[in-house]
Amino acid sequence: MEKEENQNSQSDNNDEIKENKDTDKTYKNKDLESEDKIKDLEDKLARAYAEIENQRRRFEKEKDEAFDYGGFSLARETLNLVDNLERSKFALENDEKLKNSETLKKTVEHLNVIQNDMISILKKNNIEQIKSINEKLDPNLHQAMMEIEDDAKEPGTIIQEIQKGYVMKDRLLRPSLVGVSKKKLEKDNNDNKKNQQNEEKQQEK
């Protein structure tokens, strides 16, 4: 009888130990799941923070650009007024009926005052003319419209400005339209070669 009781007691102990082990496993599994969830949440939080930081930087950059270049389109349109003023002066100065007249002198003086005021306003807003004449052609600032033969200048030197270019701070508003020099000798040599080739062909015939 006592033996049976001992066996039952031992069996109960074994069941209790097994139950405790199962409980420990359950707790361990739960702990592991909790750690995974925490890591997952930490990862999501880090990504969300990085995205917020990126958005903040983008917003700051856009705000700075809006402050620095907010009038970019208006500035570019304003250049047309400067161009038209320049064209008006040129047309008046080349009008045969008005040449050497007091009316022309006074009109040009007034136009010069207006033009200088406009250029001054542009400078105050960080808009500057691009230097062109006697400068080497810079594709970032100049656009070559023609080549002009000139042995006195290095090839690629700007010797004519068709339309003035402007920059706003470090940004190009519009390029200068220019004419650049090229050597006459190059053309002459090419013509001589062509003539020589034609003569040789005729002799062969």
**pLDDT (tens digit per residue) in 78-97:** 899 899 998 999 898 888 88
**Global model pTM greater than 0.85:** no
Average pLDDT, stretch 109-138?
A: 92
Count CB atoms within 10 A of the CB of residue 142.
21
Q: What is the pLDDT of residue 2?
A: 47
Choose one of 125, 150, 171: the last residue of a domain.
125
Domain that holds residue 158: 130-205
Average pLDDT, stretch 37-42?
A: 79
40 with 52, same domain: the answer is yes
Q: What is the CATH number of the domain that holds 135?
A: 2.30.22.10
41 with 3, same domain: the answer is yes
57 with 94, same domain: the answer is no
Choose one of 48, 69, 90: the last residue of a domain.
69
